[in-house]
Structure 1
């Protein structure tokens, strides 16, 4: 799977799946979650209501509706509590479970925001390292995934991803 960096608006990407850094209700919120819900239209909220929420670290799939992406994979990242409450394992699980869900549906391309780096307060450098490590991890031999995009919301985040990807 090829890992690439993209700086800009996640909601404009024509990929098989966008990953939504959602809250556990899946009913929309601020940041990336709010932007995805606004761009996808009210059908996304209706689909999310039927899912009944999502625990931290897990992932759920809906259609992309009005987005250029075919699907949205909703995952709930951990709230940063200082690092001693399993945050790293939960964040890694967000990436792993999103990738596995994409493979289960035969998807070839996926785009990830910086999960938990907004209002959830995860330190960007640590979160970026987890993201890159999980995306570089081994995939099944029959994996459908060919491309993963790390989407940076700022030049600072893009720089962190670039440094890690070049290492």
Structure 2
């Protein structure tokens, strides 16, 4: 399985599935969820809310609506908004469940943020290192291309350093990796 760290807006990415950094309620508020909701439309939030709540670390799937993906996998790395922060275990479980869900859906490509590291307050470097460990240990069935996305320059540099990945692809406006 190929693994890159890329920089850009997750809502502008093209993949079989995009991962939302969700809370257990699955309500799409701010951060990654807000960016995906703004691009996909309000229908995605309604569908996500119908599938929630889920247990911490679990994942649920919705249509991607107006996003350039087939699915959005809502991985609950944090408790319901305002009820607490992400933990190393919740980041690990949400990441693993997002990969398993993508494989169950026969996805070949997946883009995910540093789960639990935004609104949920988990340390970006520690979260990225946990996600890289899960990626390195995961034996995919269909997944071939996994991209861990960072929005800001600072987050990008921090994630690259934490995952041990050398300089990687820069993103174009369309969200495709230049190779």
**TM-score where L is the length of structure 2:** 0.83
Deviations 1:100-145 (A, max 9, x none): 00001100000111111112110111111001111111315xx100
What are the ranges of 5 or more consecutive residues in structure 2 without an aligned counterpart? 80-84, 167-179
| Structure-2 separation of matches of 1:13 and 1:114 | 15
Matched with 1:82 is: none
What corresponds to 2:47 in structure 1? 47
Are 2:43 and 1:38 aligned? Answer: no
The residue that corresponds to 2:21 in the other structure is 21
Q: Which runs of 4+ in 1 moved over 4 A?
A: none
Q: Distance in 1 between matches of 2:138 and 2:52?
A: 31
Question: In 2, Cα distance between the equivalents of 1:49 and 1:2?
Answer: 32
Query: In 1, are the aligned partners of 2:22 and 2:78 still within 8 Å (CA)?
Result: no
Cα shift readout 1:48-104 (whole Å, capped 9, x = no counterpart): 13213222111011110011111100011136xxxxx99212110011000000001
User: What does residue range 1-167 of structure 1 map to in structure 2 within 5 Å?
Assistant: 1-78=1-78, 87-140=87-140, 143-163=141-161, 164-166=163-165
TM-score of the superposition, structure 1-length normalised?
0.89
Kindly report the root-mean-square deviation, in angstroms, between the aligned alpha carbons of the 2 structures: 1.8
Tell me, in whole angstroms, the C-alpha distance in 2 between the residues paired with 1:100 and 1:119. 24
